[in-house]
Structure 1
């Protein structure tokens, strides 16, 4: 399932109240924030893909994986006065990533209790910087399938990120469609942690700061 957010307060609300408010009592095995800017290259392609295929993307990510998107598809920056593209970099830093990791997906579990994050750099997955819509669709479907399959086994929240990292390394590293671009890549998937006691705490601190 994917949820657009217009600013950092929206992300805070999503992690604090939005899941139960929007989806009933459902919780998600894996949460993430998809971080990109609206500039050029791969950042631009991710923005275009999400805008063009958001309904499909929202369903594709499935019931076990919540993806927060730091923009509202269909609205320009002028129509989103609260949205600041530079917030993408602040979110990355507060979630344990660097500005040079973007574009990226930052995964986490149980945001109110856990501080660990998993960072997947997308420029190494798509080295050309200009993936086609089919390539992006296959990528997101592959990650969603990994998470769905993980949920069929008895995994605790503390295990999910380490298992997901192993799955990503194996499935993408061994698949000819993706492996060539990853042969010389370093640190394209890595673990990190927030400086606060939890992911939610890190986002709440950032909202207060800004």
Structure 2
């Protein structure tokens, strides 16, 4: 009998309660020593996945959530990719079509951080966070941003593969979020057995401390 096929992370995200998802985001940020950021009406948890890839969760006070991912080698990357002045910004902004404006406001005119790059509109008046994946939740269901979906359909691209959605692996979506599950998903093969055991104990301590 063949093993049951693992569900797609997008389906697993749909099944993860938002309060549980926020706790997972808090734990990962704590483990990575990244401070959450308080915005007007929202809280941001960002993570640099290495090699230029990053993601950020925006949990709004009204229950909506925005997830942006950035895969630097993606064909969707607009950063310094167009010749005409302001076109990088225009294309990037188009990915957010269909996302509620109060969520889009969370990625506009924000300061650049170590994890999150921004693009300006060439006039210096507006900026927007760089993203290859734009996904949002209305408090109940998750959606791919309409603009991103349209762009990918026209270009023949996969919104998850090119968007860099793989980065949600560390949140163990669709399965119990335990220290052991997180440690297994992020196991460092270059550490000794003793070092990995010490790391697991550190992970357990963080899980116990975050509510």
Give the structure with the higher percent strand.
2
Would you say same fold, with TM above 0.5?
no
Query: Larger RCO: Structure 1 or Structure 2 (Cα < 8 Å, ≥ 6 residues apart)?
Result: 1
Higher helix share: 1
TM-score normalized with structure 2 length: 0.26
